[in-house]
Amino acid sequence: MNEADWRLLDADRPVEQLRIDGWLVRPGDRVLLRPRGRGDVFDLVLDGKVAVVESIEQDLEGDFKVSVVLEADPGAYLGLLRQPGHRFFFSPGEVAPLPPDAGPAPVVTPTVLVAGIGNVFLGDDGFGVEVAQRLAARTLPPGVTVADYGIRGYDLASALVGGAEHTILVDACPRGERPGTVFVLEPDPADLEASLDGAGPFDAHDLNPLHVLHLARSLGAELGSVVVVGCAPATLGPPEGHLGLSEEVGAAVDEAVGVIEALIERFLNQRGGCRDGGSQDEPER
């Protein structure tokens, strides 16, 4: 695309159309949303959604913004689409024009969501964050989303509403093993549902995986398979003398990355097939 097409020769003239990927886009046209680069939770929810262009605007620097409303926004039935809370703004590079005869666009949802959770200021509790950052730097298959959620439980619960088929939670989990032991917990869906029913109220300062999943379900999420990739910590308190992971847990990060990549491959290969039930632990390494 040519960025020259994104500039107006006369800044006082109303912006009636914009050339994106060779197409002239006008208010009322349908576009496919492809947000990128901000790491916001809305990127996960809106990626792949179809929207209708409401207006084309310029900011004070002369950069264009495309104002859109979701085609499937329930506010359409209430006459609320033009309210501020129902409009989203994207740069021209984040929307893909849909030809008028394209018909309904395919629904694009993450196949696998890898969520690193933990508090980097509490020693080995930052294990999940470090693994997510290491994975995000790798080339992963299409349909795989990796995000570092830290202690943002509400953001993770909102992302789960997006409907990933498989969710991999990465966390430091004390279970009595020696520090640095990597393991996989894959509960049976029925057992998981029973655990969620007794998870109790959500505490914004406690990123307990069960509590987050319980909140996500209360928000309408249809949870697919959920796997926890954990690591036995040496300490879960404030580190003495330095920030960061202990030597044992730091050495386990690459192993956890390999375990997650193997899980991703397995999940993508079984798309459309049947899952085996049951609970399993990865053998101690």
Please check whether residue 91 lies inside any domain of the structure. Answer: yes
Is 34 found in the same domain as 161?
no
Q: What is the pLDDT of residue 276?
A: 39
Please check whether residue 194 lies inside any domain of the structure. Answer: yes
Is 135 found in the same domain as 93?
no
Which residues sit opposite 242 in a β-bridge? Answer: none
Please check whether residue 147 lies inside any domain of the structure. Answer: yes
Collapsed DSSP state (helix, strand, coil) of residue 10: coil
Is 59 found in the same domain as 175?
no
Tell whether pTM > 0.85: no
How many domains, the chain? 2
Is 144 found in the same domain as 259?
yes
Is 223 found in the same domain as 261?
yes
Is 258 found in the same domain as 133?
yes
8 A C-beta contact, residue 104 and residue 111: no
Is 250 found in the same domain as 125?
yes
Is 93 found in the same domain as 62?
yes
Range of the domain at 233: 112-269
Q: What is the pLDDT of residue 20?
A: 85
Which residues sit opposite 65 in a β-bridge? Answer: 57
pLDDT tens digit string along 227-278? 999 999 998 776 665 678 999 999 999 999 999 999 999 988 875 443 333 3
Please check whether residue 150 lies inside any domain of the structure. Answer: yes
Please check whether residue 151 lies inside any domain of the structure. Answer: yes
8 A C-beta contact, residue 280 and residue 186: yes
Ranges under pLDDT 50 in the chain: 1-12, 76-81, 108-109, 202, 205, 272-285
Is 184 found in the same domain as 72?
no
Check which CATH number belongs to the domain holding 37 and give it: 2.30.30.490
User: What are the two backbone dihedrals, phi and then psi, of residue 31, each rounded to the nearest 5 degrees?
Assistant: -135, 155
